[in-house]
């Protein structure tokens, strides 16, 4: 089977690496890809939002299956457009992808289905939102309603901060805001494959969203992650599936808009049990970079089953018991304006010790690898526990020569502290 992978980040490099190992694969293409992805796939220079261009390319190259990495094309209906043309897709259609595309859609679904999540109000005007603030204590969470690459959320510790966040949202393109109760607990990510009917747990992870050490500073797309997440015990995972994921999948199917693909539940493990913070309609980035190295089963086989509705006939996927940990190396300036063009070297030395460097924001400049985005590399290693995986990942980081880059030195710290206790 010829397969096209859509996307160009570290998540897609991890997917390309794993897909390329599939016995079901004839040829892997990637659009628009990056130099790391080009080691596993032939690159097609088509943007992820060029639906017409992607469909034409599939028809011309006998591509019968497309794996969509990022959320934006899904929220814009790429999966629907491909399916209309008879092309199989890993990823949900536009309607169910609203689970990620619209926080209001998700919160309303949770309310109807009694799914545990933070109490909320959805406001369409600035004055309405300001008035609603009075009903919440502090801290309070203010979210723009729409895709914001992890940056549309403010956890406000003062009323002034909350009012400022609301003003920002209504002064930009935003026309709708969700105000939420602050949930206390530890966050964990749960990945579940579904074909709309059957559910298949597909691993857990924890990421570090803040740019600074000790989880401080502005939010980012994620500065590092590890898998599995020991805090998400088998019992809590079962509760999250029964109380959160299954009712969501069933509600969408009942409405005639079944969800197929991976559902990524961002959970808060509160004293009352797991509560939903948000859904994503795709794998996490950098969580995917720690799931794929642990996956021992054929990824493509599961992706196809999600699309064809045959997930119920498959055995549970096998994941290694090892821990995988990834450290994101970002360009200075991130999550603000990153400094691009900085030279990157030493990747072979980093991988010589068994680590794997997934490329995110990279490009070739006169044949030389340089930084082209905020998050540039995801340096990933495995080990028998978090401490060992962390040590191996930082050994690889230290072998990389990227003077205009930076990384956090404490990825995995919570788990390392627990392991040492
Ligand atoms: P989201 O984009 O909804 O995942 O929010 C980004 C981050 O903001 C989450 O990963 C949490 O760290 C934090 N957050 C969002 N909603 C809440 C909430 N209701 N209570 C506490 N923290 C939250
Ligand atoms: N790492 C968080 C995300 O992919 O949304």
DSSP letter at 292?
Answer: G
Tell me what the mean pLDDT of segment 13-20 comes to.
Answer: 98
Of the bound ligands, which one is closest to the alpha carbon of residue 264?
2
Tell me how crowded residue 410 is: count the other CB atoms within 10 A of its CB: 18
Q: Which residue's CA lies nearest to atom 5 of ligand 1? A: 153
Give the whole-number percent of the chain exceeding pLDDT 70.
98
CA 75, CA 166: separation in Å to the nearest integer?
24
- Measured distance CA(295)–CA(297) in Å, rounded: 6
Interval 160-203: pLDDT, tens: 999 999 998 888 766 788 899 999 999 999 999 999 999 999 99
Structure tokens at 107: 């919160």
Report how far residue 139's alpha carbon sits from residue 109's, in angstroms, rounded to the nearest whole number: 24
Buried b (16+ CB within 10 A) or exposed e, 146-184: bbeebebbbebeeeebbbebbeebbeeebebbbbbbbbe
pLDDT at 40 over 60: yes
Q: Which residue has the tokens 């797991």?
A: 274
Check whether 149 has a pLDDT greater than 90.
no
What is the residue-wise DSSP string for 178-245? EEEEPPPSEEEEEEEEESSS-EEEEEEEEE--EEETTTEEEE-S-SEEEES-TTS-HHHHHHHIIIII
Q: Is the pLDDT of residue 114 over 70?
A: yes
> Is any atom of ligand 2 closer than 6 Å to the C-beta of 96?
no
Q: Do the bridges between strand 63-68 and strand 88-90 make them parallel or antiparallel, or are there none, so unpaired?
A: parallel
Res 169: pLDDT? 87
pLDDT digits (tens, 9 = 90+) for 63-79: 999 999 999 999 999 99
Please confirm whether the linkage preceding 233 is cis (ω < 30° from 0): no
**What is residue 421's predicted lDDT score, i.e. its pLDDT?**
85
Which H or E element spans position 58?
Answer: helix 51-60
Paired tokens of 348: 């072979």
Are 45 and 32 in contact by the 8 Å Cβ rule? The answer is yes
Alpha carbon of 216 to ligand 1 centroid (Å): 14
Q: For the segment 223-240, what is each residue's pLDDT rounded down to a tens digit?
A: 999 999 999 999 999 999
Query: Which residues, 6 or more positions from 275, have their beta carbon under 8 angstroms from its beta carbon?
Result: 116, 117, 118, 183, 185, 244, 267, 268
What gap in Å lies between CA 215 and CA 219, rounded to an integer? 9
- Using CB distances shorter than 6 Å, the residues near ligand 1 are 118, 141, 143, 150, 153, 155, 180, 182-183, 187, 209, 266, 277-278
Q: What is the pTM of this model?
A: 0.95
Ligand nearest to the CA of 206: 2
Q: Percentage of residues in the chain with pLDDT exceeding 90? A: 91
Question: Which residue shows structure tokens 């549309």?
Answer: 152
pLDDT at 147: 62
Atom 15 of ligand 1, residue of closest alpha carbon: 277
Residue 148: pLDDT over 70: no
Mention every residue, 6+ apart, whose C-beta is less than 8 A from residue 124. 175, 176
Tokens of 352: 């010589």
Residue pLDDT, tens place only, 244-280: 999 999 999 999 999 999 999 999 999 999 999 999 9
282-334 pLDDT tens trace: 999 999 999 999 999 999 999 999 999 999 999 999 999 999 999 999 999 99
Helices 246-254 and 103-113 cross at an angle (nearest 10°) of 100
Spacing of C-alpha 137 from chain mean position: 30
CA distance 205 to 299: 18
Pair of tokens at residue 41: 């796939």
């Amino acid at each position: 089977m010829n397969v096209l992978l859509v996307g160009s980040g570290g998540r897609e490099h991890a997917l390309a690496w794993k897909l390329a190992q599939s016995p079901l694969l004839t040829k892997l293409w990637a659009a628009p890809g990056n130099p790391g992805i080009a080691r596993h796939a032939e690159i097609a220079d088509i943007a992820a939002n060029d639906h017409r261009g992607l469909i034409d390319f599939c028809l011309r190259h006998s591509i019968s299956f497309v794996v969509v990495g990022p959320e934006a094309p899904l929220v814009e209906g790429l999966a629907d457009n491909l399916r209309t043309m008879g092309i199989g897709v890993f990823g949900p259609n536009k309607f169910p992808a609203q689970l990620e595309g619209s926080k209001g859609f998700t919160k309303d679904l949770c309310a109807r289905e009694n799914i545990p999540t933070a109490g909320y109000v959805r406001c369409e005007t600035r004055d309405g939102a300001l008035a609603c603030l009075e009903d919440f204590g502090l801290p309070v969470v203010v979210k723009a309603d729409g895709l914001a690459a992890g940056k549309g959320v403010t956890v406000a510790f003062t009323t002034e901060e909350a009012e400022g966040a609301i003003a920002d949202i209504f002064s930009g393109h935003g026309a709708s805001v969700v105000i939420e109760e602050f949930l206390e607990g530890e966050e964990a990510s749960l990945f579940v494959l579904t074909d709309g009917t059957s559910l298949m747990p597909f691993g857990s992870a924890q990421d570090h969203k803040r740019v600074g050490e000790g989880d401080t500073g502005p939010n980012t797309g994620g500065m590092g992650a590890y898998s599995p997440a020991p805090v998400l015990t088998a019992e809590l995972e079962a509760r999250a599936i029964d109380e959160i994921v299954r009712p969501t999948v069933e509600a969408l199917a009942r409405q005639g808009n079944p969800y197929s693909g991976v559902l990524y539940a961002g959970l808060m493990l509160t004293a009352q049990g797991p509560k939903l913070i948000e859904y994503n309609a795709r794998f996490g980035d950098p969580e995917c970079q720690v799931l794929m190295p642990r996956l021992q089963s054929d990824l493509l086989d599961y992706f196809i089953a999600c699309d064809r509705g045959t997930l119920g006939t498959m055995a549970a996927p096998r994941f290694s018991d090892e821990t995988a940990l990834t450290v994101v190396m970002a360009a200075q300036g991130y999550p603000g304006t990153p400094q691009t063009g900085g030279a990157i070297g030493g990747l072979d030395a980093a991988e010589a010790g068994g680590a794997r460097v997934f490329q995110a924001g990279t490009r070739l400049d006169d044949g030389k690898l340089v930084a082209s985005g905020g998050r540039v590399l995801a340096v990933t290693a495995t080990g028998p526990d978090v401490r060992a995986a962390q040590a191996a990942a930082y050994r690889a980081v230290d072998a990389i020569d990227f003077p205009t880059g930076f990384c956090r030195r404490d990825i995995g710290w919570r788990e390392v502290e627990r392991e040492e206790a």
